[in-house]
Structure 1
Amino acid sequence: MTVIADELTPVERTPIQEFYAHQKVFITGGTGFLGKVLIEKLLRSCPDISTIYLLIRSKKGKDVHNRLEAIFDDPIFELLKKEQPKYRHKIIVVSGDCSLPNLGLSSDDKDLLIRETSIVFHVAATVRFDEKIKYAVAINVSGTKEVMDMCRAMHNLKSVIYVSTAYSNCNQLTIKEEFYPPPISGQNLENLTATLDERRLDDITPILLGDFPNTYAFTKAIAENTAKDNGKDLPLGIFRPAMVISTSSEPIQGWIDNVFGPTGGIVGAGAGLIRTLNVNSDCVAEVIPVDLTVNALIATAWDVANGKNVASDPPIYNYVATWENKGLTWGEYNDYALEFGTRTPSIRSIWCYVNYTTRYTTLYNLLTIILHIIPALILDTGLFITGQKPKLLKLYKKIHKFAAVTSYFSQNTWNFHNANTRALWDKLSPEDQKNFFFSMADFDWRTYMERYISGLRLYIFKDDPSTIPAARKRMAVFKIFHNLIIYSMLAIAIWFGYKFVSFVLSLGQSAETISISENSIVR
């Protein structure tokens, strides 16, 4: 039962609701995937919250107010609008940019935030794996330092949570809930990127990264220590979520608004474009639902505020899929995606849903030639002949670049410790465990994956459910042609193999005949 704010008394509030009652929360990254769900959940489940300040920058010709209005047009806010119709007056937008000094804030807005804010969620980051090092440092490292500096001036601050990633220290195969020495200090890295031009930085990026797979993980590792060093004596916590994908159940099932990480591979396969992936099917897929992730994030701020900084370092919470259970493997992830993707295919797909995975890079490269490059070359040639612009080879170049930067995470399994996160779950009251559910102990992956794939069809492909029967018929036709092509290629390969073996055997027989003839002559 939902209780509206006017009826909610302190006695009726849960401990977490009591913590957020009358508080003023500052959120960076509120326009992003995780940020939207965080805003929605706070407003709906903590109805006595006073104010949410959102840091938003102008983008693509839209000012901050237009971008704010666009946020609330999203389907995930429909339930909030029904349950809390007066929520809008609690949202205040401040114009800024985490990649700029002082977060790009005006002096008045900065003074307002310092004076009023009591809880901070620093969510903003560039999540592109192949981001230029200069920009990745500006937003992930420098932006974190600016947030911590501003927090130090906040007199009413109860809790500040820096949202990192479970893969911030992915060069370690065992990742504990503790800080790891950074590969370089944040200050030295900022000085380096400020001194060198972009071309020179691009040249030395591989050297800087060392055993880190990309600029995202590299800068996040440094940013964690930047938060710790610049957040001394602050009520600070570090939240490390794994790969965040669609909602599980609230506010709606299967909602997602991006194709980052593993979602990109599933969407590409569902579109009929990606037919092979470089994946180790036995490795664990550390994917987590965004609604459960946000529930855990909200709880960490409450826990940090109650912790009174008893530890020497800020607490770290690894939020991952593997609790008592072994989690989902990439093989299971792809099998579920194929099963449910075939059952409810997109009407927009250009080919049937197939996905041949292999852990072997050489075999994967061969499969990309057969399943991606050759078909793209044939179709692009047809487009060129008919006077149209070729586009498939260019598209596959982007797809293969995406596959190259994500394969690292599907080829390894990490041992994540999560004692702090599990202890936090145990601290929650029964009411808070229900309202802010985030336990992954007995998670139903099959049901979740079905919702996930249905959500991709609805929110990414924008397909109406009424088109499912037509899409199935279309997919069946594609499947027939696909099998004809595959079996024809297999038959041709067998024929060539047979001819090659026959040729080799004939050479051997010829050589034997010549040898016998030579021996006869000698005798």
Structure 2
Amino acid sequence: MVISKSQQQKYTPDAKSTAEQISLAPPTDKNKNYLLNNNNYNEVNVNLNNIGDFYTGTKIFITGATGFVGKALVEKLLRSCIGIDAIYLLMRDKRGLCIEQRLKELLKNPVFDKIREKDPDVFQKVKAINGDVSLPNLSLSENDKNFLWENIDIVFHSAATVKFNEDLKNAVLLNTLGTKRVLELCQGMRNLKSFVHVSTAFSNSDKAHIKEHIYKPSFDINSIINCMDILPKDVVEMLSKKLLGKHPNTYTFTKALAEYIVLEYSSSIPAAVVRPSIITAAWKEPMPGWVDNMSGITGIFMECGRGTIKSIICNENYVMDIIPVDVVVNTIITACWHTVAYTSNSVRVYNCVSGGINPVTWRKFGDLTHKYVREYPSKYVQWYPGFEYRTNRFIHMIYAIMYHTIPAAILDVFLYCTRQKPIMLKISNKFYQALDAGKFFSTNEWNFDTHTLAALSVAVKNAEDGENFGMDINKGTTNFDWDPYVKNFMIGVRQYVLKDDMTSLPAAKTKLNRLYWFQKTFQVLTLYAIMKVATR
């Protein structure tokens, strides 16, 4: 489907004040209904002042649909944009499962429970396409490639490796070159209306003030890609430090490169970039607290709740810029609509963040975490929950050895003696590495511009069905509050990540009470032993 620029509301973001930028009028009555012409479809009347109607009759292509954001995106599209014709997910065979089996497993996820109860037949709209962003031409067959060229209207690209410690060669292959390959595919799509690239707010974390535009990298991207292809891994790792510069890791560096590639292709492809900060559990949709991965900050605070993490490198007075996954998904969906309904001369960038809108400090989030992991403990709690933020790395290391490494080693000895597989030290080291990788983000803070995001928010509120795609978390204009959000987050981790339903809560509270008195007894005995040694 193709919409001519004369049929669209014109809007070009610039460096004006927020008030000027967000004074957007919705599409006027004159151009309210649009005739979308497509040789392969019947003519469809689409109301561009209605976000759901914008998606009516569309065929959508999504990469990264098996990820945290990808699952939530597919669910929201199916539930709120009921006129969608079909959703095609780029998937590859993995762990002995073919793409059809993986699709079935994906749709069994609890995130789709609401849809399953209301209209399970809608899942027939979701289809898998065999492909891989890490391979040339996305490893698409000729038939699949031609089908996508002829039929796809909208592309959401969220596939990426989010490992901070990924080696540079793999990170460039997946995050940068993978994005280029998706854009090359998009260039052949006859009916493409909008392409949305899911990036990260920390793609330019080497800067203190991050504007909503794409920054030019210090090195030529094509040269970097060629180096990754030609040079052996060990040579690439030697060059890694120089290439990264002030970037903390390969993830932020390669996502910044990917953004610039989107900018290069935006002259021929209607594109937008959404930059979420640290993505956490759902605020409202599809259910409060839904979360399904234990990577990053979710895994860290899960272990804090289980009592296995006692020390975190962090400046507790800094803003902790986190954003609920449903807010991110609504931003992605509406940014796609915004690109068409309010056209721009340049690619729009949306800093999807909370820090400048409704900030929460690490200290406040930590206090709320302590409150709710003790109120809703899991049966998997290992030690009485309680952690502290520290900026002194030496003290942190001592605490890590005392409370992370030594207990894990003791448990491994017990497991070995009982003929079980000793895995606790391995798990402890994994989370310690996650803490170490994340310390850059917990000991720094950034000033994010949100003018374009504010413009989108106003446009969404002006849309006829804007209330279905809420992405405003300003406490002054919505009921968003961090206290109930963290409560639902901790319950969500318990329910969806640890697979521990609320029926175990009474027993978990009894266990927590025992651990509390065990900890007090241990502290008293330790203090007594220290005093005895000191008096001698």
- Closer, same or farther in 2 for the Cα pair 1:14/1:371, shift >3 Å? same
- Residue 330 of structure 1 aligns with an amino acid whose one-letter code is W
Structure showing greater radius of gyration is: 1
The answer to whether 1:489 aligns with 2:526 is: yes
Instruction: For 2:79 and 2:534, locate their aligned partners in 1 and report how far apart those are by CA, in whole Å.
Output: 65
Q: How far apart, in 1, do the equivalents of 2:487 and 2:464 lie?
A: 28
- Structure 1 gap segments, 5+ residues each: 1-8, 500-523
Q: Does 1:417 align with 2:452?
A: no
Which residue is 1:509 aligned to?
A: none
SS at match of 2:323: strand
Q: How does 1:220-299 map to 2 (within 5 A)?
A: 220-299=255-334
The structure, 1 or 2, with the larger RCO (C-alpha pairs under 8 Å, 6+ apart) is 2
> How much does 1:85 deviate?
3.2
Please state whether the residue corresponding to 1:160 is helix, strand or coil. strand
Change (3 A) 1:15 1:344: same
Where do 5+ consecutive residues of structure 2 fail to align? 1-43
Which residue pairs with 2:513 in the alignment? 476
Partner residue of 1:335 out of 342, 358, 367: 367
Tell me if 1:320 matches 2:353. yes
Partner of 2:129: 94
Distance 2:126 2:407 in 1: 50
**What are the superposed Cα offsets for residues 236-260 of structure 1, whole Å, 9 maximum, x if unpaired?**
1111011111111111121111012
Q: Do residues 445 (structure 1) and 482 (structure 2) align? A: yes
Question: How far 1:497 moved relative to its partner?
Answer: 4.9
What is the deviation of 1:92? Answer: 2.1
Return closer, same or farther for 1:489/1:304 CA change in 2, 3 Å cut-off: same
- Residue 463 (str. 1) matches residue 496 (str. 2): no
- Deviation string 1:130-186 (CA, Å, 9 cap, x unpaired) is 112111111111111111111112121111111100000001111110111213232
Q: 2:469 aligns with which of 436, 452, 457?
A: 436
For the residues of structure 2 that align with 1:328 and 1:93, how far apart are their CA atoms?
A: 39
Shift of 1:13: 9.1
Q: Could you say which residue in structure 2 is the equivalent of 1:73? A: 108
Q: Which amino acid aligns with 2:465?
A: D
Residue 33 of structure 2 is matched in structure 1 by none
CA displacement at 1:495 relative to structure 2: 4.7
**Shift of the alpha carbon at 1:494?**
4.5
Q: Distance in 2 between matches of 1:387 and 1:43?
A: 48
SS at match of 2:315: coil
Counterpart residue identity of residue 471, structure 2 = F
Taking the aligned partners of 2:441 and 2:524, their CA distance within structure 1 comes to 33
How many pairs are equivalent?
A: 488
Query: Which digits, 9 at most, give the CA deviation of each residue in 1:271-306, with x for residues without a partner?
Result: 232122112111111111111110111000011112
Report the alpha carbon displacement of residue 476 of structure 1 after superposing the two structures with TM: 0.8
- Please state how far the C-alpha of 1:81 moved relative to its aligned partner: 2.4
- Which SS does the other structure have where 2:496 is aligned? helix
Q: What SS is found at the alignment partner of 2:235?
A: helix
State the distance in 2 between where 1:27 and 1:224 align.
17
Among 155, 159, 165, the residue aligned to 1:130: 165
Mapped contact 1:322–1:440 kept (Cα < 8 A): no
Counterpart of 1:359 (choices 369, 377, 391) is 391
How far apart, CA to CA, are the structure 2 residues paired with 1:303 and 1:465? 41
Question: Bigger CA drift: 430-439 or 388-397?
Answer: 388-397
Superposition RMSD in Å:
2.0
Counterpart CA distance in 2 for 1:402 and 1:357 is 15
Distance 1:477 1:494 in 2: 26
Is residue 183–residue 222 contact of structure 1 (8 Å, CA) maintained in 2?
no
Instruction: Tell me how far apart the structure 2 counterparts of residues 184 and 486 of structure 1 sit (CA, whole Å).
Output: 55
SS in 1 for 2:88: strand
1:152, 1:231 within 8 Å by CA — same for their partners in 2? no
Q: 1:441 corresponds to which letter in structure 2? A: N
